[in-house]
A and B are shown apart, each in its own frame.
Chain A
Amino acid sequence: MAKARTSYLRTGLIHLALISYTLIALFPVFLTLVNSFKSRNAIFRDPMAIPTPSTFSLVGYETVLKQGDFFGYFQNSMIVTVVSIAFVLLFGAMAAFALSEYRFRGNLLMGLYLALGIMIPIRLGTVAILQGMVAAGLVNTLTALVLVYTAQGLPLAIFILSEFMRTVSDDLKNAGRIDGLSEYAIFFRLVLPLVRPAMATVAVFTMIPIWNDLWFPLILAPGEATKTVTLGAQMFIGQFVTNWNAVLSALSLAILPVLVLYVIFSRQLIRGITSGAVK
């Protein structure tokens, strides 16, 4: 009996800790969502209150949809995020395969070099990046953002994926070689499906900082045609007056696409484990 009770207490405490963490993490999101549906006065009068029929207002969303090309901003964010993730996954996985599969001189050094980016923030190089983009004529293009984000995402991707690829059975790859599969076929058809959970992890870790980034869009692509959602939402924040309805609505809308992407990847996380290939 005593044992059962302590374990109740223990699981209770664990749940308590997790639930309070969840509440803390979700609170800003909740606040944003709730207040985006309220009138301006109601937001300031009682920020915690949920919208009632008298305070309910869609004025924020109306402003967002009317002012500026918000659909275009979404599209830009989407393009940048999706293309960057695709490049990070493709190049990261290829580099990781080479590092984990082939023995060559400088393998370890190369691996360290490629992983070094995890420890050095890419923003330190902003000035040089901007100069480079200016020289290449890529300022105010989505290409500039995609290139920067791909570079930013690669170190972690290579680090995680090469560890995972080491766990893929050598026998399986060798069986492929004996059956006449090319190295590319082994990579794409045997190894990638087996590291799908790791790919999903990398995709999630890569996606969120890109979607939320304000720094590089502001510096590299501030033009109207290339604005991303986070940058677009900034136009409602002024030095003296801030249109909170619009800001909160814009941010609420910005949650949606990233949520969809997350759901797609996290399903892979759970489903991707393929068993039965080797014992």
Chain B
Amino acid sequence: MGSLQLSSIRKAFGDHEVLKGIDLDVKEGEFVIFVGPSGCGKSTLLRVIAGLEDASSGSIRIDGQEVATVPPAKRGIAMVFQSYALYPHLTVKDNMGLGLKQAGTPKPEIEQRVAKASSMLSLDPYLARRPAELSGGQRQRVAIGRAIVREPSLFLFDEPLSNLDAALRVQTRLEIARLHRRLKATMIYVTHDQVEAMTLADKIVVLNAGAIEQIGSPMDLYNKPANIFVAGFIGSPQMNFIPAEKLGEAGAQGAVKTIGIRPEHIALSRESGDWKGKVIHAEHLGADTILYLETETADLVTVRLFGEHRYAADDIVFATPDKASIHRFDANDRAIA
């Protein structure tokens, strides 16, 4: 229960092609996250899977069954929306039970499933309330509860945390992770926040301009990005990209056009090192210190140091990249292994 195969999914609105041939295989019980900048087509892809939009071409199979002509309610899916989308005139309990009621499930079973979901999400005290009487976090839990009650083979989350404040976001993120372990259900989750993607996913799908850039586990994407886009998108602060000829590497390796090095893989010293530079700005975050350097050889470089360091603007420093962590990209922006 809960596998999904997409093959060459295309979607166009008029002349504008939003999805340009998506192939994806999601195994049972996997937590897959679609991540990408806004407008990359990730939400459209989720809607196509849900059946809220028709694909222009391509096939979608849920549990091995072609679902192109199956209406959303019969696809065995449940969806959690960014704006919660609770029914304003129904109580929390009725909000959660409506889907089952429409499907003709017997009342005692609805009761029992709602009770189970509400205790799982600690919503018991609020069952008789209407959405207007709940806080944002509670509403989002109700929306998740509404999805759980349906016992779907596929959970779809459309940026569920982006309307919550920072503290609540972390808490709800944990809750979703626990839920996934507990239900062992297949989940597909859309976000533009790479932290959510890295912390929750078994498998991340990086989308850009309607096409898949790379699919892999969070650590795969971090350690072995397939191209400059993925390298730049995953990791914060962003990876430094330096034209290879500036470092004199182009001659040695020929095809190498760009060198990438993550801010946390650069060592800093006041005495000696590869690149001499001046600190333009220092951000002291307590756990990290982030420095922006103007170097003579490599232009602007971001460096992330762990812990507190007493660097200030205008200090002269030397930066040394960790040779083993350097990423090399060719003229087509592809990574060179």
Question: Which residue numbers of A lie inside 8 Å of B, CB to CB?
Answer: 169, 171-172, 174-181, 189-190, 193-194, 274-279
Measured CB to CB, the closest approach of chain A to B99, in angstroms, equals: 4
CA–CA, A171 to B159, complex, Å?
Answer: 12
Query: Are B88's CB and A194's CB within 8 A?
Result: yes
For A193, what are the chain B residues with a Cβ–Cβ distance below 8 Å?
Answer: 88-89
Measured CB to CB, the closest approach of chain B to A176, in angstroms, equals: 8
Interface positions, chain B 64-123, Cβ under 8 Å from A, are: 71-74, 77-79, 81-89, 98-99, 102-103
Other-chain contact of A172, B47, B85, B139 (Cβ < 8 Å): B85
Q: Given A178-B73, A179-B98, check contact A279 B79 (CB 8 Å).
A: no
Q: Given A174-B52, A178-B78, check contact A277 B98 (CB 8 Å).
A: no
Residue B132 CB within 8 A of the other chain: yes
Q: Given A180-B103, A275-B132, check contact A175 B79 (CB 8 Å).
A: yes
- Known contacts A175-B86, A177-B51; can you find 20 more A-B pairs with CB under 8 A? A171-B81, A171-B84, A172-B85, A172-B86, A177-B72, A178-B50, A178-B73, A178-B99, A179-B102, A180-B73, A180-B102, A181-B73, A181-B98, A189-B87, A194-B88, A274-B89, A275-B88, A276-B139, A277-B85, A278-B86
Query: Are A178's CB and B163's CB within 8 A?
Result: no
Q: Given A177-B72, A179-B99, A180-B99, check contact A274 B83 (CB 8 Å).
A: no
Q: Considering only CB atoms, which chain B residue lies closest to A193 in the complex?
A: B89
Q: Considering only CB atoms, which chain B residue lies closest to A276 in the complex?
A: B132
For A190, what are the chain B residues with a Cβ–Cβ distance below 8 Å?
Answer: 87
For B158, what are the chain A residues with a Cβ–Cβ distance below 8 Å?
Answer: 171
Query: Are B89's CB and A169's CB within 8 A?
Result: no
Query: Are B81's CB and A175's CB within 8 A?
Result: yes
Residue B133 CB within 8 A of the other chain: yes
Q: Considering only CB atoms, which chain B residue lies closest to A174 in the complex?
A: B52
Measured CB to CB, the closest approach of chain B to A170, in angstroms, equals: 9
Query: Are A276's CB and B85's CB within 8 A?
Result: no
For A275, what are the chain B residues with a Cβ–Cβ distance below 8 Å?
Answer: 88, 132
Query: Are B88's CB and A274's CB within 8 A?
Result: yes
For B146, what are the chain A residues with a Cβ–Cβ distance below 8 Å?
Answer: 175, 179
CA–CA, A171 to B327, complex, Å?
Answer: 41
Question: Which residue numbers of B lie inside 8 Å of A, CB to CB?
Answer: 47, 50-52, 71-74, 77-79, 81-89, 98-99, 102-103, 130-134, 136, 139, 146, 158, 163
Query: Are B102's CB and A171's CB within 8 A?
Result: no
* A-B pairs with lowest CB-CB distance, top 9: A276-B132, A180-B73, A277-B88, A180-B102, A179-B99, A171-B85, A171-B81, A175-B85, A278-B83
Query: Are B132's CB and A178's CB within 8 A?
Result: no
Q: Considering only CB atoms, which chain B residue lies closest to A169 in the complex?
A: B83
Query: Are A277's CB and B79's CB within 8 A?
Result: no
Q: Considering only CB atoms, which chain B residue lies closest to A181 in the complex?
A: B102
Measured CB to CB, the closest approach of chain B to A175, in angstroms, equals: 4
CA–CA, A193 to B88, complex, Å?
Answer: 9
CA–CA, A19 to B78, complex, Å?
Answer: 56
Q: Considering only CB atoms, which chain A residue lies closest to B98 in the complex?
A: A179
Query: Are A174's CB and B81's CB within 8 A?
Result: yes
Q: Given A178-B78, A179-B99, check contact A277 B133 (CB 8 Å).
A: no
Q: Considering only CB atoms, which chain B residue lies closest to A275 in the complex?
A: B132
Q: Considering only CB atoms, which chain B residue lies closest to A277 in the complex?
A: B88
For A276, what are the chain B residues with a Cβ–Cβ distance below 8 Å?
Answer: 86, 88, 130-134, 139
CA–CA, A190 to B102, complex, Å?
Answer: 14
For A179, what are the chain B residues with a Cβ–Cβ distance below 8 Å?
Answer: 73, 98-99, 102, 146
Q: Considering only CB atoms, which chain A residue lies closest to B80 in the complex?
A: A175
For B52, what are the chain A residues with a Cβ–Cβ distance below 8 Å?
Answer: 174, 177-178
29 A-B pairs within 8 Å (CB atoms) are namely A169-B83, A169-B85, A171-B82, A171-B83, A172-B85, A172-B86, A174-B72, A174-B81, A175-B79, A175-B85, A175-B86, A175-B146, A177-B73, A178-B73, A179-B73, A179-B98, A179-B99, A179-B102, A179-B146, A190-B87, A193-B89, A275-B132, A276-B88, A276-B133, A277-B87, A277-B132, A278-B84, A278-B85, A279-B163
For A278, what are the chain B residues with a Cβ–Cβ distance below 8 Å?
Answer: 83-86
CA–CA, A190 to B131, complex, Å?
Answer: 14
For A176, what are the chain B residues with a Cβ–Cβ distance below 8 Å?
Answer: 87
Measured CB to CB, the closest approach of chain A to B14, in angstroms, equals: 10
For A174, what are the chain B residues with a Cβ–Cβ distance below 8 Å?
Answer: 47, 50, 52, 72, 79, 81, 85
